Every structure is written in structure tokens, then in C-alpha cells.
Amino acid sequence: MRLRHGRGAVALAFAVVAGTGTAGTLGSTPTAQAAPLASPTSPTSLTSPTADAENPSVWPRPHSLRRTGTPATVTDEIALRTGPTADPYAVQALRTLLRQAGARRITTTGDPVPPGTLVVHAGTQTPDRDLPSGGYELTVDGDTVTLTGTGPDGLFHAVQTLRRLMRPDGTIAGAVVRDWPGTAVRGTTEGFYGEPWTREQRLAQLDFMGRTKQNRYLYAPGADLYRQARWREPYPAGQRAEFRELAERARRNHVTLGWAVAPGQAMCLSSDADVKALTRKIEAMWALGFRAFQLQFQDVSYSEWHCEADAERFGSGPKAAAQAHARVANAVARYLAHRHPDAAALTLMPTEYYQDGATEYRRELAGALDAGVQVAWTGVGVVPRTITGRELATAREVFRHPLVTVDNYPVNDYAQDRVFLGPYTGREPAVAAGSAALLANAMAQAEASRIPLFTAADFAWNPRSYRPQESWRAALADLAAGDERRAEALTALAGNGASSVLGGEESAYLRPLMEAFWREQTGTDGTAAGREQEATDGTAAGQKRPTTDDTANRQKRATTDDTAAEQTRNPAQDRLRAAFTVMRETPARLSGTPLALEVTPWTQQLARYGDAGLVALDMLEALRTGDPTAAWTAYRTLGELRERLGAARVTVGEGVLDPFLARAQRAYESWAGLDAEPDADRGGGGDGRTVRFPHTRTLATVTVLAAPGTQGTVEARVPGAGWRRVGALDASGATELTARLRADAVRVTGPAPGRVRHLVPWYADSPAAALELPGTADAEIGGTRLLTARLSALRPADVRDRLTVEAPKGIEVRVPGDALTLPRGASVEVPVEVTVPEGTPVRSYDIRLAFGEVSRTLTLRTFPRTAGPDLARTGTARSSADETPDFPASAANDGDPRTRWSSPVEDGAWWQVELARPVRLGRVVLHWQDAHPSAYRIQVSADGRRWRTAAVVRGGRGGREELRMDERDVAYVRVQGEKRATAYGYSLWSVEAYAVAD
């Protein structure tokens, strides 16, 4: 659909009896195929949920599975007895499975079996309420295995579960399983635009669908003209032969082949001759093995007919289009019912397949369509983030026909720089249970599609027990097929391609590794290299020692030890280095597989990120050990790698990988002083680079970064004495020279223009460190507020000093008491704990903090403590205006986190709530949607007419914003917008209001 928006034999015999009525129960545990694929200590450890050697995993997840204590053993000889109703494809699959497990001889006679033989019963029974069609019961218990399926597919499904119970040593896990499909029709659509799948890819897909208990494959490639503009023409002979082969493979895997035709752009819908031509084409496809059909009108106009007769008969507009579409659909459905009574119900993909609610087109179509026709939809939206049971029920009420959910995930033809490899999410179980069919639209990358399609199959089979992450890990294990190195590479590939419109966290396995690395590297989220040790606590203005774990942990971020540079390498670095190494090796680890060919652009980009990540770690390690040559070399290499990464046309690890590299670069730039490098004159008079100061300064050090091998001299200009030599450039390209003199300029002479990349003077007459505070902060009276002071080293060496505090009487402030060491280039967060005793007046207090020569003032605003319930929840909401009736003012205080109020596009829009009774208001909490204000006020009123301002916000950032106040006699609370931060209006998920505690 085009998207607009080795096994060992054992000594005993193994007998199989295939009959018709032996019922049993079987439950199972996880399978060896999805056993742990990587060491638990590996940075990309991939373990299938609950899978181990004794407990193999079963996927899709069964509805009922119970472990028994006695496994079965696959033996040399097997006696196989088949009854007249046993499905031949299921029996053949069973025979193949047993041979693969170690059986050497399979007999089908009814002769007695030798003592100790393991007996397998396989049969079918009629579906009933307790076990619907497609269900099965399977028991493995000691010397007996029983498989009983219901309907035409049940026995085949039981065999697939038995496959999952097989162990590498030739035994079968003891289990009892009772299972059935949660969705009657489950499968895959090949409906993307672009190069269609190959014959080999389709055949492999059908085998995969059989293993995962899917039963519908819809053929609908966007580039196949023989089902669109050239639908009247027969397929070429070669393609017809491929379809026959596809049909046979589908039958073997209990998959129904479906064919979609989109004739709307080349058909006279009122013409009986054209309708007859369409049914002839459908008959030809039936002869090739297709047994389900979909008629598509999703990309046609309401008014552009392809013959005058259509305009004369139907007119124009949505209602006319619905009548025309229903006419053709009804004719085809009646033809199939007459000619092929056993055909699956016809599906119609209407023009309005993703809209919400009732429309003229939908109402007319619902009334005109024959009852047996099913209607396809994609949810509300072409690629909806979520599909709810309520939305499905609404659409079913509108169309008044069974709904086929054609879900546009993981299809990627609308975002061809991505492969969507995350699990199937955002669909409520009611969508699976309430859909006549649930089909997931695949990507052009067939093999890669198996990862999300595996999870979609798991959801469709048992939606209420579906666990996306467990299913996703099992999908990766299934595709890795027991190869540990391949499993790690698949985790890297899929983990860095897991996000999509459906949600999902990109690079989720890498994020904690990176966070741990930066914590160990800097103890902060700043951009520095260096490590900190735990600081001891001192006192200022009546301090007490911190008592919270949070404070203790945060105080580890500053160092009091001069031996920081001698510490061992960051342990988190080793874990992150291992992860980057897997990324770099992913193309090689996946080579030789069908997957490797179709995802080459993404694995190559992932490998480039792996290379860049390793270079970044080398650079940061060089900073830690004080190796400027290695650091400068790595920095230049990292810049070149990022340029190549930026030029690539595919996306992996978005929002995670490149920000890590950028942060590493900033760490070097801070260390080398590049973030404060002054403007320079390039060339001229033989100079490689010159920096002139606004006034005479006392120099301490000069850093020069040049191309390796550059020769030249660093000079400083002393007022009244001219240029003086400071030193020569180092051949490595990284030069750092001590310069104890007063000067008004520095330069590099000798090299050709452009070879000197950076010239950084460091001054002895400027502060050694910077101190940043939040500026203002709110604190409850009688409570403690944890704040952060950021210290940044501004010298080309470690900086050591104490953080001191001057606080007003009665305000208690705690900071680390011992001297802190800031490693060169480091930015370190230091905890500041402020306690406001009971009885402190409500007002603002200035707190002065100093580190060395620099000091800053924090304004602390104190407010009374709040308590009690959310008062807005029981109030009456109003607004200046609502964007639409779907986003009313009441949605912001209804207690439902899924609803919201939205305003029209007006800066002055407001939302207010009338409280149940007047209160002394102490706190308001706002939860903004993306559309939020950059400036707004909280106003309060006793009568709803005369308003006063309780809080003012400038520079609003959206999300959760908490505002403190102390306002008496408040019966009304208003959020008054002043300036929008986006092109939209304002949108609030919720507003909370709390009273001052008694």
C-alpha cells in the first residue's frame, strides 16, 4: 500500500500413531532454538525469555502451557500410523521434524512396537466452543506424545509447537499445551511500493509464516502493474509458474494466498463488460492457486471517472464513488460465492480506509455493500501510532461490515532511509479479537521484516499474553538460528532500528551503557573528560550531614583526590567498547545470509558508527591520560568519520549514536580550549595564524593544533618590545607551550596558510573555573530542596579549590566540605542541599556560592507546603475557545491521561477551572502537549471577574511545569497564554491544583 502521509541418535525406538480422535493436552516451555545466544555479561546479550536447556521457548506464545517432569526421547525407529483425516501436509511436516531430530526409520504399519518405544498420537477433531478451528492440544509425557488438532490447520500448528519443544540432544521437553488462535486470520501483506520481493524471498516467507502459525499472505506489490493499470492482461508465463510454486508452498504451510487488485484507475465501473473482465482475471488467479481476494479503491478520486458512463450513472462526489465501488465489489463477491463457494470472503479496501468516524462516503458504502463483503482499514491514520478497541468498534459501527485490519507496520516505503525492526506495539488486544483478519504490511526487505512480523504473529495468536520485548528478543533469536555472533550483530542492527511511528526506543540497549560511561567519565552530563572521586561533606550556614541516598550518590561526582589521573580506565568504557566493536563487525557477522544483502546500507552505516564510537573512546581515553598527540589525532579522525556518516542516505541509531559522538567531540574541544577559541587572522606576512587580544593579557599557556609535520614558531607580542619567541611547533601537530608574559597578541609563523587549524591562548588573569547556578529556585517551608551547582575547569590543567556558601540566617545549605579537583576540561555537578526550617517567612532569599575567584547568587523563593487532593479534578473547566469538540476544556481535568484540551491558534487563549470551594492555593502543575506557550501567566480570582497574577512564566519549555504560589481566597484558576511556542495553539493534557497544607 502506498503510504501517503548435528544431532545424535539414541538407542530406543520411537513410534508415531497418526489417527483421528485421540485427544490430549500439551503444555510446553520455551525452545532450544531461542535459547540464550550471548553471554549474560556481553553488552549485547540476547536471551529468549524463559529459555534454557531444560525449558525451551514456544512462539507464538501458547494460551495454556504447563511443564511436565518427564521429557520424551526421539529414537532410531519410529512407527507412524496415519488415519484418513490426518492432514497430509501436517503429517509430512511431522515426519520431517522427527528425522531432523534423529529418527532413522519411520514405519506406518500397525505392528506392535518394541518395548520402551515412545508412541506419538497425531489426529484431528471437530472444532467446538472449547477449542476453535486452528487450535490444538499437545502432550509430551514420558513415553507418550499426543497431538490433536481442530479444523484443517490445528494439527499443523501442533507440529510447529512440537518443533519448538525439540532439544539439540534429541529429546523433547515434557509439557502440556492447549492452544488456539486469538485471531482467525493472521498474516502478512506484500503491499509496499518499490522493488517487489523475489521468488526465493516469497517462498522463504511462506515457510516462516508456517513456523509462526500465520495463515494469510496477501500479494499486493505497489509496482505490479498486472494488478493495477494492466489488470486485464494475464501475467507472463514465468510469473504464472512462480505463482503456482508459491501456491503449493502456501498449501504446505497452511497459508491461504490472497491477491489484491486495484482496477480503479483503468476501469469503467458501470460497465458489465469491465466487471466480467475483472472476474475473468480473478478466475485466472484462482487457477494459479489464490484463494482470497481484495478489491482496492484507496487511491482513486471521487470525481475523476474513466468513462462517461460512470459520470452519467453515478454522478460525482463521495456518495457516487461509494455506489460505484459497492457495485463492483458486490459483483465480484457474488461471482466468487457462485463459482467458488469455499473462497474466503472478498475484502474491499475503500477510498476512505484510514479516516475516523462516519462520512457521506462511508455511510453510503455501508448501505450498498453486500453483507458478505469485508472492509479493510488501517486504523485511524495511514500509519497510526495506536489502534484501540474503541476505534475498531467505531469503524465497525460505521461500515456495518466485518473489518480486516491491514496494519501499515513495518512497511517503510514512506521512509526509505529506515528499516523498522522494533516489535509490534500500540495495538489493543481487542483489535486482534475484533478483526476478521489482522495483516501486517511488510517492508521491501523481506528477511529483515521477519523481526517485526514475528512479533506481530505472536500478538495476533495470543494478544492478551503478548509481551513485546520478550517477543522481539525471541524474533532475533529465531533469525540468528543459534549463531551467537550473529545474534549479537542482529541485536545491534535491530536495536539501532527499533523506533518507528508506533513508538519504541532507539538504541535502547546502548543508552544505559552510554549513560554509565558518562557517569564514570565525568560524573555528570557535561562535556568533559576526567573522573571524580567521592567528596566529603562540609558545613555552611548551619549545615547538617546529608541523609538521603540521592545526595550521597551525587556527591561522588566531585573529586577530592589529586591522583585522579592515575586511576584505572573507566570500567563502563570496556562495555561500551565491546558494543561498538559488535557494530563495526556487523556486516562481517551477517555475511553470507540473505539478510546481509538486503540491509547492506544499514549494516555499513552501523559499522561506520562502530568505527567512530571506538575512535571517540580512544580520544576520551587519551584526554584522561593526558596524551595530547593521541587525542588530537583521534579528534581529527572522528571529524572525518562524522562527515561520512552525515553523507549517508540511511538512518540508524537516530538521536543516540550521533549525539554520543558530538558529545565526545565537545569533550575534546573543552579540554583543548576550542570552545573558547578567539577569532584569528589566517595567513598574511608568512603567518600561519594570528590572534589579537582586545587588550593586554597575562598569558599562561598557548595551544596550537596543526596538521602533523607542520613546522613553525609560536610568538607572543609584548607591548613596547615586539614579538617574542615562545617555542617551536611539535611535529605531532599538537603543541602546548608555557608562556609567562604579558602580551596583546600571539601568532604562528612559518607554516603555509591553512596548516594551523587552531590557536588557543590561555590566560593567567582570568578565573580558573566557572560556576553556574539555576538563578532562582522554589522551596517548601519545612522541606529540603536538592539543587545542582555546575563547576567547569577553564585552565589547561586540573583546578582545585573549595566550594563555599554564604546563606541568610535560618536557611541551611549543605555542600561538599573538602577541596574539589576539577579535571582539565571537566564540567562537574556538585550537590547543593537547601533546607528551609518551619516558621521561615514566605519571601525570597539570596544565597551566595563561590569557588575560587568566581561567585554566583541563587535566589531562593520559599512557599508554604501543599497537601491534599488535586482540587482541579473536581472543578468545572472552561476555556476561551476549543480547537474542536474533540478537545474540550473538560479534557484537561477529567483524570484521563489520554485526553487533552486544545485551543485555536491564538496567543491570548486561556483555560480555567472553577474550584468546588475557595482555597488558599499553593501549587499548580501543568502537563503540556507539544503545543505549548513560551510565555504565560497563572491567574487566580475569588469571583471569576477580577483576576490577579499568581505566577509568570517566560521561556516555557512545555512538558511538566510546576508553579508555586501562596494565594488566598482562590475560587478560580486560569492559565492565561501570552505567546505561543509553536505554530499551533495551546494544548494541555492536564492541570492540577493543590491547596496550602493546614
Catalytic sites, residue numbers: 299
Q: Which helix (H) or strand (E) holds 333?
A: helix 318-339
Are the C-beta atoms of 793 and 852 separated by less than 8 Å? Answer: no
- Whole-number Å distance between alpha carbons of 144 and 164: 17
Virtual CA dihedral for 660, 665, 670, 676, nearest 10 degrees? -120
Q: Where are the beta strands (DSSP E) in 672-783?
A: 681-682, 687-706, 713-718, 722-728, 734-749, 756-763, 769-772, 776-780
Q: What share of the chain is helix, strand, coil (3-state, %, to 5)?
A: 30, 30, 40
Are the C-beta atoms of 295 and 332 separated by less than 8 Å? Answer: yes
Give SS3 for 679: coil
3-state secondary structure 835-882: ECCCCCCCCEEEEEEEECCEEEEEEEEEECCEECCCHHHHCEEEECCC
- Say whether the peptide bond before residue 841 is cis (omega within 30 degrees of 0): no
Alpha carbons within 13 A on the beta-carbon side of 492: 35
| C-alpha pair distances (Å), 834 with each of 784, 811, 851, 861, 862 | 6, 7, 18, 11, 11
Alpha carbons within 13 A on the beta-carbon side of 53: 3
Q: Residue 84 burial by CB count (10 A; 0-12/13-18/19+): exposed, middle or buried?
A: exposed
Are the C-beta atoms of 557 and 834 separated by less than 8 Å? Answer: no
Are the C-beta atoms of 427 and 387 separated by less than 8 Å? Answer: yes
- Whole-number Å distance between alpha carbons of 389 and 427: 8
Q: Which residues contact 723 (CB under 8 A, 6 or more apart)?
A: 715, 716, 717, 747
Are the C-beta atoms of 847 and 805 separated by less than 8 Å? Answer: yes
CB atoms within 10 A of CB 446: 23
Give SS3 for 792: strand
Give SS3 for 925: strand
Residue type, 454: F
For 617-656, letters b (16+ CB in 10 Å) and e give bbbbbbbbeebbebbbbbbbbbeebbeebeeeebbbbeeb
Please, what is the Cα angle at 644 between 411 and 674, to 5 degrees?
Answer: 125
Please, what is the Cα angle at 770 between 766 and 773, to 5 degrees?
Answer: 145
- Whole-number Å distance between alpha carbons of 315 and 321: 8
Are the C-beta atoms of 940 and 952 separated by less than 8 Å? Answer: no
Residue type, 996: V
Are the C-beta atoms of 391 and 380 separated by less than 8 Å? Answer: yes
- Whole-number Å distance between alpha carbons of 709 and 732: 6
Q: Which helix (H) or strand (E) holds 661?
A: helix 657-672
Phi and psi at 946, nearest 5°, equal -100, 120
- Residue keyed to cell 549525539: 659
Are the C-beta atoms of 216 and 457 separated by less than 8 Å? Answer: no
User: Would you put residue 50 in left (φ > 0), alpha (ψ -120 to 50) or beta?
Assistant: left
